[in-house]
Structure 1
């Protein structure tokens, strides 16, 4: 059994399950570092937003030992990019046990670092690219291995989907009840206000 592939992902990723990306074992992957724009801009669209909101957490879930750093910033003139660090196939020295890795940042403090001597870097311009195309490119470059969920995992995912649908129904019902209550309160206020005007006219 592949490590990290035995259990379904957390609830927030139930719709993106079914991929186990063995970056380190199969292609010596070190770092997946997407640079995503936070402020509204034509390059930060739903086309590529799904990749770092859904696909990237799924990859991280199945590969907890592979650093994946997100660097967010508000520079609208800078293209959103995805940087993948891979060990060179002709590298003669063993890969170091550990490498210096920055943490994710919301204020442009985790910029992509230059590759080490035994590494190469692949950069993807995510501007106006659909998430599915970005994911396909990542899988091709890293030789990732897609896997199918087990019957038990499918059952658990179906239960989570059913819970999510029921939660949406419950939220809609509560929203309707609140709106109905507000309408009744507004009608009562108007009736009271109208009654006060009538009393003044009678007096």
Structure 2
């Protein structure tokens, strides 16, 4: 059974990876929606979009909870893979709560554009997730999230604990192998004594 401290370290590492990994960007206020459409399988150039959805989109959503981020994974392998960024100029009377929407909406189609809205698209097919992110950052002028001193210290501490844990694990394996070898030699000696007694 995995120890509680080991599980806590793993959880802390995952949480830090969401806050600080690739895709940790703050989007400008004039973006109200991001929509992705790609095939459910990676054939036909859909691997990059799938990786972007799985890794970078999670961090974008974490840092931009008010931006609706939807996906449509019903495209065929030969269809284009498209990321649509919806820009809008919110009216002065519109509150941020009015513009926020859920990313788990059942409607997977692109919403009807408001009169002040424009939509820019990125062709994701045959592109890596890093290239898609780079294009999105260039298009939206998103700001990267920098790690705080406390987060950097936590990363250092977790790395030290990981290295120490790896060393301890290697030592434990050595001890277990030695004990197993000694047990095997003891059994072999007992077998030889029993054979000599007969």
Q: Provide TM-score, normalisation by structure 2.
A: 0.63
* Alpha-carbon contact 1:19-1:148 (below 8 Å) kept: yes
Number of matched residues? 177
Runs of 5+ unmatched residues, structure 2? 1-14
The answer on 1:162 being equivalent to 2:156 is: yes
The answer on 1:32 being equivalent to 2:37 is: no
Runs of 5+ unmatched residues, structure 1? 1-9, 105-109
Flag the 1:194–1:125 CA change in 2: closer, same or farther, 3 A: farther
- Distance in 2 (CA, whole Å) between partners of 1:146 and 1:192 is 66
Tell me the SS of whatever aligns to 1:68: strand
Pairwise CA distance, 1:169: 0.5
- Distance in 2 (CA, whole Å) between partners of 1:76 and 1:185 is 57
* Alpha-carbon contact 2:36-2:83 (below 8 Å) kept: yes
* Alpha-carbon contact 2:39-2:77 (below 8 Å) kept: no
For residue 124 of structure 1, the aligned residue among 122, 125, 133 is: 122
Flag the 1:123–1:192 CA change in 2: closer, same or farther, 3 A: farther
Q: Which has the higher helix share?
A: 2
- Distance in 1 (CA, whole Å) between partners of 2:169 and 2:38 is 34
Q: Provide TM-score, normalisation by structure 1.
A: 0.62
Tell me the SS of whatever aligns to 2:155: helix
